[in-house]
Amino acid sequence: MFKIARKLSAKGIIGMNQRNIGYIGKYNSRKLYPLVDDKLKTKIIAEDAGITVPKLLGTIVYQFQNNEKYLKKIIADLNGFVIKPSKGSGGKGILVITRREGDIFFRPSGQPASMQDVIRHISNTLSGLYSLGGKPDVAMVEALVEFDPVFDRYSFEGVPDIRMIVFRGFPVMGMLRCSTRASDGKANLHQGAVGVGLDIGTGTALNAVQFDQPIESHPDTKYNFKELAVPHWDKLLPLSASCYDITNLGYLGVDIVLDKKIGPMILELNARPGLAIQIANNCGLLPRLKKIEALSDHKLSVEQRIEYSTREFSAD
Amino acid sequence: MSSKLQIGIFVVILVAIGLGLTVYKAAYLGFPLTPGEKQKIWSVEATMDFVADGDQPVKVSLALPDIQDNYAMIEESSASPDYGASQAIIDNTRWVVWAKRKASGSQKLYYKLKFYYDSKIKSDYNIHEKPDREIEPYNFTGSSKLAAESLLTLVKDRSADNISFTSGLITLFNSDEPFQNVKMLLGDKPSEKAKLLLTTRMLSIEKIPFQVIRGLYLEDGKRKQNLTSLLEVYDGEKWVLFDVKTGRIDMPDNFVIWQRGGDYLFEVRGGHDSKIKFSVIENYVPAKQIAVLDQDATLLNFSLYILPSSEQNAFKSLLLIPIGALVVVFMRILVGLKTSGTFMPILIAIAFTQTKLLTGLIMFIVVVAIGLVIRSYLSRLNLLLVARISAVIIVVIGIMSTITILSYKLGLYNVLSITFFPMIILSWTIERMSILWEEEGAKEVLLQGGGSLIVAVLAYLAMTNTLIQHITFNFPELYFVVLALIIALGKYTGYRLLELRRFKSFAEED
pLDDT by residue (tens digit) across B435-465?
A: 778 777 788 888 888 999 999 999 999 988 8
3 state SS of A279: helix
Select from B439, B486, B508 the residue whose CB has the most chain A CBs within 10 Å, as the one to mutate to test that interface. B439
Cβ partners under 8 Å of residue A90, min gap 6: A188
Who among B384, B491, B503 is closest to A127 (CB)? B384
**Is B484 part of any domain?**
no
Q: How far is CA A314 from CA A121, A161, A206, A227, A234, in A?
A: 43, 21, 11, 18, 14
Domain boundary among A143, A165, A188: A143
- pLDDT tens digits, residue range A117-165? 888 889 888 887 777 666 788 999 998 888 888 888 888 777 788 999 9
Does residue B384 fall inside a structural domain? Answer: yes
- DSSP letter string, A87-118: TB-TTTT-EEE-EEETTEEE-TTS-EEEHHHH
Tell me: do A168 and A19 sit in the same domain.
yes
Q: How many domains does chain A have?
A: 2
Contact between chains at A8 and B507 (C-beta distance less than 8 A): yes
pLDDT tens across B19-31, in order? 998 888 888 777 7
Structure confidence by residue, pLDDT tens digits, A198-254 = 999 888 888 888 888 888 888 888 888 888 888 889 889 999 999 999 988 999 999
Q: Answer yes or no: are the C-beta atoms of A300 and A280 closer than 8 Å.
A: no
A72 & A126 share domain: yes
Set of chain B residues whose Cβ sits within 8 Å of the Cβ of A135: none
What is the arithmetic mean of pLDDT over A37-51? 88
The whole-number average pLDDT for the span B491-505 is 86
Within this chain, do residues A68 and A111 fall inside the same structural domain, yes or no?
yes
Q: What is the CATH number of the domain that holds A167?
A: 3.30.470.20
Q: What is the mean pLDDT of residues B476-486?
A: 90
Enclosing domain of residue A278: 2-50+148-313
From residue B321, give the alpha-carbon distance in Å to each of B307, B318, B339, B353, B472.
Answer: 19, 6, 17, 12, 10
Q: What is the mean pLDDT of chain B?
A: 81
Q: Are residues A121 and A237 in the same domain?
A: no
* Domain end residue (candidates: A143, A164, A180): A143
Which of A253-267, B47-61, B294-308, B364-378 is the least confident region?
Answer: B294-308
- B291: pLDDT confidence band, cut at 50, 70 and 90? low
State pTM to two decimals. 0.64
Q: Would the CB atoms of B500 and A282 count as touching at under 8 Å? A: no
Same domain, yes or no: A185 and A237: yes
Q: Name every chain B residue with its beta carbon within 8 A of the beta carbon of A115.
A: none
- When CB atoms are compared, the residue of A21, A134, A191 closest to B491 is A21
Which residue range forms the structural domain that includes residue B448?
A: 312-474
The residues that bridge with B100 in the sheet, in sequence order, are B58
Domain shared by A128 and A152, yes or no: no
> Does B177 have pLDDT greater than 80?
no
Do A67 and A9 fall within a single domain? no
- 8 A C-beta contact, residue A299 and residue A305: no
Whether residue A123 and residue B497 make contact (CB cut-off 8 A), yes or no, is no
CB-CB contact of B492 with B334 (8 Å): yes
Long-range contacts made by residues A92-98, C-beta under 8 angstroms, separation at least 24? A92/A130, A92/B439, A93/A121, A93/A124, A93/A125, A93/A129, A93/A130, A95/A121, A96/A144, A96/A159, A97/A144, A98/A144
CB contact under 8 A, A17 and B505: no
What φ, ψ does residue B43 adopt, rounded to 5°?
-100, 125
Residue B455 belongs to some domain of the structure: yes
Check CB contact of A116 with chain B, cutoff 8 Å.
Answer: yes
- Residue B191 confidence (pLDDT): 78
Q: Are residues A250 and A158 in the same domain?
A: yes
The residues near B101 (Cβ < 8 Å, ≥ 6 apart) are B57
Question: Which residue from B280, B294, B218 is spatially nearest to B43, judged by alpha carbons?
Answer: B280
On the question of pLDDT at B307 being above 70, the answer is no
Q: With 80 as the cut, is the pLDDT of residue B129 above it?
A: no
Q: In this predicted structure, what is the pLDDT of residue A252?
A: 92
In terms of domains, do A38 and A127 share one?
A: no
Q: What is the pLDDT of residue B297?
A: 57
For the ranges B5-9, B129-133, B504-508, the lowest mean pLDDT is seen at B129-133
Q: Does the pLDDT value for residue B510 go beyond 60? A: no
In a domain, B430, yes or no: yes
A2-6, A187-191, A232-236, B199-203: which has the highest mean pLDDT?
A232-236
B403 in any annotated domain: yes
Share of chain A above pLDDT 90, in %: 16
The number of distinct structural domains making up chain B is 1
The C-alpha of A124 sits at a distance from chain B's nearest C-alpha, in angstroms, of: 7
- Range in B305-309, B372-376, B494-498 with the lowest mean pLDDT: B305-309
| Shared-domain flag, residues A130 and A164 | no
* Percent of all residues in chain B with a pLDDT value above 90, rounded to a whole number: 6
- In this prediction, residue B245 has a pLDDT band, given cuts at 50, 70 and 90, of confident
Q: Is the ipTM of this complex over 0.85?
A: no
User: B439 and A213: CB-CB below 8 Å?
Assistant: no
Contacts of A134 in chain B (CB under 8 A): 385
Residues A258 and A135 in one domain: no
By the 8 A CB rule, do A100 and A115 touch?
no
Which of A118, A143, A168 is where one domain is finished? A143
Most confident of the ranges B264-273, B278-287, B406-415, B483-492: B483-492
Same domain, A207 and A234: yes
